[in-house]
Amino acid sequence: MRWIKQFLKLEVPFYIYKLKQGDSIIYINNNESFIILHGTMYISKIFKNKTTTALGILEAGNIINNQVPPTNCYYKTYAITDTFLLSFKWEQLINYKHYNNQQLYIQLLELHRLTIKKYEVMNTILSHKDVRNRVSQLILTLLNDTGIIQKTAVIIPYNISQSIVSDITGSTRSRINKILRSFHHKQIIEYTYDKRISTKHPLMFIYSRSIK
């Protein structure tokens, strides 16, 4: 992987973490950053009063980085699929040997740009007041970002449990279960026992009024 080769070449200390599906990391140390090498995960901001806000669904080519020390909150990442992370510290990267490596910083800026776009997409999802619209926008986003076409259907290629949808959309699991059952009953999606979502009608998620 190019980031591992890049850090080895520059002799920058780093660690590789493997998260199995369902694993999570509590992220408090603002000096440590993570580059996602492989997999899909989401990151949430958790406040002291236990209020949780999803920030984004991230994948390979995104970076988790917060240089502002958290005061009344912390961050939690959750692996939707098996995920590999490269961890490094900025003070070990920004030194006299690497400071003028323009190509490296251009690549890191590109990671930040792509990650900010993911955060913007999540803001759009959560801007809907109706939970049903949040769920439909979330499914459409996942279909667009990771969907695989198989015959006449588009399939999200990993498990999406009601619990994950609940955490991301800020709703209860029972409410999410009712919404997914409704989508399934109306033949808008197929939701299998192994938590796989597929659809033959992706355009219906764009015109959300038609699935109420």
Query: What CATH number has the domain bearing residue 79?
Result: 2.60.120.10
State whether residue 108 is helix, strand or coil.
Answer: helix
Of residues 87, 83, 70, the one with CA closest to residue 33: 87
Q: Is there a single domain that holds both residue 41 and residue 116?
A: yes
**At which residue do the structure tokens 């619990």 appear?**
163
pLDDT tens digits, 104-126: 888 889 999 999 999 999 999 99
Q: Is there a single domain that holds both residue 7 and residue 94?
A: yes
In the listed set 92, 126, 160, which residue is the last one of a domain according to the structure?
126
Phi/psi at 206 (nearest 5 deg)? Answer: -75, -40
pLDDT tens digits, 64-116: 987 666 678 888 999 999 999 999 988 877 774 655 667 888 888 999 999 99
pLDDT (mean) for 174-201: 90
Q: Is there a single domain that holds both residue 94 and residue 196?
A: no
**Positions of E strands within 28-125:** 32-38, 40-47, 52-59, 63-64, 73-79, 83-89
Residue 209 scores a pLDDT above 60:
no
In the listed set 96, 126, 156, which residue is the last one of a domain according to the structure?
126
Q: Which two tokens stand for residue 211?
A: 């699935």
Residue range(s) defining the domain that contains residue 180: 131-211
